[in-house]
Amino acid sequence: QSVLTQPPSVSGAPGQRVTISCTGSRSSIGAGFDVHWYQQLPGTAPKLLIYGSSNRPSGVPDRFSGSKSGTSASLAITGLQAEDEADYYCQSYDSSLSGWVFGGGTKLTVL
């Protein structure tokens, strides 16, 4: 069981908007630690999508955005495209574990 909780799956039609939640605790997200999001296309290594809860690395489309509030964070994807079909993981730090933690991952299906 992952320290950060994500929905196992989400889906949306092309052009729609979807959000993926990531729920932590007072010792992780709630303690103020940054949340990062990764996209993992089938058979490939994870790729950084959002860092510092809401920042996009160079090259990541602005269709992807992140936010954080309290003990949770969210990834939003607007204008869904077929190429967005992938697994998405959130990641933070947990002070009670003294280590970095990942969510269980969310599989995005583009209908």
Partner 1 sequence: QITLKESGPTLVKPTQTLTLTCTFSGFSLATSGVDVGWIRQPPGKALEWLALISWNDDKRYSSSLRSRLTITKDTSKNQVVLTMTNMDPVDTATYYCAHRRTSGPVVYAFDIWGQGTMVTVSS
Half-sphere exposure of 60 (CA within 13 A, CB side): 20
Considering only residues 11, 69, 97, 111, which one is a binding residue for partner 1 as defined by CB under 8 A?
97
Considering only residues 23, 91, 108, 110, which one is a binding residue for partner 1 as defined by CB under 8 A?
91
* Shortest reach from residue 79's CB to partner 1, in Å: 24
Residues 22-81 that bind partner 1 (CB under 8 A): 34, 36, 38, 44-48, 51-52, 55, 57
Strand order in the sheet with 18-23: 18-23, 72-77, 64-69
Q: How far apart are CA 111 and CA 109, in angstroms?
A: 6
Any contact of residue 7 with partner 1 (CB under 8 A)?
Answer: no
